[in-house]
Amino acid sequence: MKKLFAFIRKEFYHVFRDRRTLLILFGLPVVQIILFGFALNSEVKNISITVLDHAHDNHSEQIINKIRASSYFIFKPAVGAYSDIEEQFKEGNIKCALIFPANFGEDLSRSGKAEVQIIADGADPNTATILINYLNAIIAGYQQSLKSGAPPPYQIIPVVRQLYNETQNGSLNFIPGVIALIFMIVSTALTSVSVVREKELGTMEILLVSPFRPIMVLIAKTVPYLILSLINFIIILILSVYLLKVEIRGSLVLLFAESILFIITCLSLGLLVSNVTNSQQTAMLFSMMGMMLPTLLLTGFLFPLENMPWIFQAISHVIPSRYYFIIIKAVMLKGLGFSYIWKETLILAGMSVFLLAVALKNFKIRLS
Amino acid sequence: MKVLGFILRKEFRQIFRDKTILAMMFAVPVIQLIIFPLAANFEVKNVNVAFVDYDRSTFSQRLLNKIASSGYFRIVGNTISYQDAQRLIEKNEADIILEIPNGFERNLVREGRQEVNMAMDAINGTKSSIGGGYLMAVLADFNRSLEVNVKNVHSGPSAPAAGIDITYSIWFNPLAEYKYYMVPGILVLLLTMIGGFITALNIVREKEIGTIEQINVTPIKKWEFILGKLIPFWIVGMIVFTVGLIVMYLVYGIFPVGSLATLYLFAAVYLVALLGFGLLISTFSNSQLQAMFVAFFFIMIFILMSGFFTSIDSMPPWARQISNLTPVTHFIAVVRLIVLKGSSLSQVKTELLYLGIFAVLLNGAAILNYRKTS
């Protein structure tokens, strides 16, 4: 036991000696929270629009004013000819163009029918569909104001409630993802490097000839990173509650217990990576490049899992962060108890045991 | 010049010796480029709607049928109470609850208006908000069909309503397919990660293993050393980029609309800037771990701010400034412009200027920061 303790202390020295890495470790969650919380926005705003107005009459100008008044659009100087629009698109200056034909107002007041054309930039299809909806709504609103009659009979009015998030706090969507990501980085990447580094620098020999048992080496390697991950977790929780005003609904004890379980899964994965690789470079590239994108994409954090081809849905079942993501959403944001997440917990526990066993089996006590 | 040749030969030998790294440099981006655009999809299908019907009238049944037949929704637990529906949400089996109150049909006919409750699981952000939007559209459509029916019954065929006809076209991507947006972006992303990480690890590895001492005692000049590190990875980067373009064409059928020469010109300048960034980190760091983490930290910020996932226009002004100061932003913008819209060099020349400045600054800093004495 004393030996183990001394070894853990050695690992801590390694960690604390490297100030820059430590700074990055704690800076990472802070920066991510700030960026996701304040800079990145899935809402579409400030859409650059230009108008080609062949009509220049009362109606077209009123519609333009309505668009100008909406906060979603930013007006670029109007263009004079149809061919200018393409030029503007190609320079990346505008996202959409609105074209009024000549006689727009005349047609509208005389025959009650007129046409406008919207051209949207399909290079960003998401923005394109959303801006078309915005413009549709604005023009429809203008039309409604023209009629100024009674509202159409038979109206079903949806009253919308956002469950678990009545204040529409956008932060709720990304915090579970950020937490899972940080754990993957800190636990998996750092541990994977820690064993390989000893191999690369030659100090592994010394460990192997000592009477220290392999399981002890693995435990000692993981404890410091477990603690670092937990500190990071606390930082994220504090930032979420005080900076982003996210309410933690569930039990903190359960939240921590589940997080420790997930960290152990990540650490086991890291150990496995480090045991099967031979250089820090390979280990890092594997755990950063190889794991980062799958984690980002197949957790259900950025893109909904249900719409992916079945093969990805199948793969996502072996990605630990998927289960943790479900757990943390349930416990932290919905305030549900253990009875709702026992299945996910069991899977994570099973993964940890499996990964640790494989890692231990692959732990080579002889250097080739 | 001869010295540079020797350094280059050494670097290439090192690259080719480590087969794992070599495989990773080419296989990882190709596999990810093939796989991820398929996974990265904002389209929402199969939104689970818990339909709580307290009215059980013809109208509510018709509404249910309309929702079910729209193709986007799956109705779960049709004959339940609101409490049961809430439990479905908790178990993640439903995303939206639509509650039809008692007296729905009667009120509609008598007063012409009736509220229905829609509760969305706000934790599943994307799915429920997009799904909610669809559901609103279905409701609006249902409204309209009621209107038509009623008019037909009461007043016979009515005069066509006055209206502005809105026609729209989506240029460069008429079907608004997501892959056109995603694939070029992912290509840039992978190139950035490969280039950034591998160069960041390179010099520091020599430091850690101790071989840098041997280089420091030779008459190799600083710029020769940095250039010797830069050129091999620049070539690797250009090959990765080419392979990426081929994958993009073969798998997704996306071929650059604009000129390939312009595209390669930008890629060449961008890679110099990016590799300079990696080398700068490498000269700063003391261990590979440190280099990797510093590189990861910055590349993560670059990617998040680059407009890859979310639109730059929607960011607050301070964030837009940061976004402007990262090379990835400019390269993603240019690749999308050239590949999708066929912009010519003169239309995107300011971006080239930006990337050129980044290339000079970052490499200059790397050369200055590389010390032969400790």
Question: A90, A100, A199, A344: best mutation site toward chain B, by most B Cβ within 10 Å?
Answer: A90
Higher-pLDDT residue of A130 and B355 is B355
Check: CB of residue A176 under 8 Å from CB of residue A333: yes
Check: CB of residue B135 under 8 Å from CB of residue A86: no
Coil, strand, or helix at residue B164? strand
Cβ-based contacts of A158 with chain B (< 8 Å)? 115-118, 135-136, 139
Residues B127-150 have a mean pLDDT of 76
Please indicate if any CB of chain B lies within 8 Å of the CB of A280. Answer: yes
Please indicate if any CB of chain B lies within 8 Å of the CB of A19. Answer: no
Q: Which of A 145-184 lie inside 8 A of B, CB atoms? A: 146-147, 152-165, 168, 170, 172-173
Its pTM stands at 0.82
Check: CB of residue B345 under 8 Å from CB of residue A91: no
Number of H helices, E strands in chain A: 16, 5
Cβ-based contacts of A278 with chain B (< 8 Å)? 20
Q: What are phi and psi of B51, to 5 degrees?
A: -100, 110
Under an 8 A CB cutoff, do A47 and B40 touch? no
Task: State the Rg of chain B over Cα.
Answer: 29
- Closest chain B residue by Cα to residue A200: B209
Q: Which of B 167-226 lie inside 8 A of A, CB atoms? A: 167-174, 176-178, 180-181, 193-194, 197-198, 201, 205, 208-209
Tokens of A13: 């020295």
Cβ-based contacts of B172 with chain A (< 8 Å)? 89, 121-123
Percent of chain B with pLDDT over 70: 93
List all residues 6 or more positions away from B347 whose beta carbon is below 8 Å from its beta carbon.
Answer: A87, A90, A91, B337
CA angle A316, A321, A327 (to 5 degrees): 110
Please list the pLDDT of chain A residue by residue as tens digits (368 residues).
788 888 888 888 888 888 888 888 888 888 988 888 888 777 788 899 999 998 888 888 989 999 988 888 999 888 888 888 888 888 888 989 999 988 888 888 888 788 889 999 888 888 888 888 888 888 888 887 776 555 555 677 777 777 777 766 767 777 888 888 888 877 888 888 888 888 888 887 787 787 877 778 888 888 888 998 999 999 999 998 898 888 888 899 999 999 999 999 999 998 888 888 888 888 887 777 777 777 777 887 777 777 788 888 888 888 888 899 889 888 888 888 888 889 999 999 999 999 988 888 877 666 65
Q: Give the nearest partner residue to B122 out of A121, A162, A303, using CB atoms.
A: A162
Residues B164-174: pLDDT tens digits? 777 778 888 87
Q: How many C-beta atoms lie closer than 10 Å to residue A217's C-beta?
A: 23
Residues B19-74: pLDDT tens digits? 877 887 888 888 888 887 877 666 677 788 888 888 888 888 888 888 888 888 88
Please indicate if any CB of chain B lies within 8 Å of the CB of A92. Answer: yes
Under an 8 A CB cutoff, do B20 and A41 touch? no
Under an 8 A CB cutoff, do B180 and A125 touch? yes
- Closest chain A residue by Cα to residue B151: A153
Q: Is the ipTM of this complex over 0.90?
A: no
Sign of the CA dihedral running A163, A165, A167, A173: negative
Local confidence band at B156 (pLDDT 50, 70, 90 cut-offs): very low
